[in-house]
């Protein structure tokens, strides 16, 4: 059954990297060689625990780790001088 909300795992080949400026890599695997060289997207490695197959608490810990990584990056970007 297809999820009508489009919430499914997607491969990198499904993305047009010209539409993005920042990609947060949540896995502990390098994306080197998997992102087109002509892409201007900046890749930030921020591994988060994979909760697959674990209980609800593991999913909550992963969610919190992702939230913290995103918030830290947004706060850091706000502190940088703008154009």
Average of per-residue pLDDT across 2-10: 68
Pick from 40, 16, 11, 41: nearest CA to 27: 11
**What is the separation of C-alpha 76 from the centre of its chain, rounded to a whole number of angstroms?**
17
Residues 24, 73: contact at Cβ < 8 Å?
Answer: yes
Confidence of residue 78 (pLDDT cuts 50, 70, 90): low
Residue 40, pLDDT > 70, answer yes
- pLDDT tens readout for residues 59-75: 999 999 889 988 888 88
Its pTM stands at 0.66
Pick from 11, 14, 43, 48: nearest CA to 30: 43
Average of per-residue pLDDT across 49-55: 90
Residue 3, pLDDT > 60, answer no
3-state secondary structure (DSSP) of residue 22:
strand
Residues 46, 24: contact at Cβ < 8 Å?
Answer: yes
């Amino acid at each position: 059954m297809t999820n009508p909300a489009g919430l499914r795992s997607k491969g990198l080949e499904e993305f047009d990297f010209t539409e993005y400026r920042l990609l947060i890599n949540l896995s502990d695997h390098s994306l080197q060689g998997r992102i087109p060289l002509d892409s201007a997207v900046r890749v930030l490695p921020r591994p988060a625990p994979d909760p697959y197959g674990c209980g609800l608490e593991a999913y909550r810990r992963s969610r919190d780790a992702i939230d913290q990584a995103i918030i830290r990056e947004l706060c850091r970007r706000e502190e940088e001088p703008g154009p």
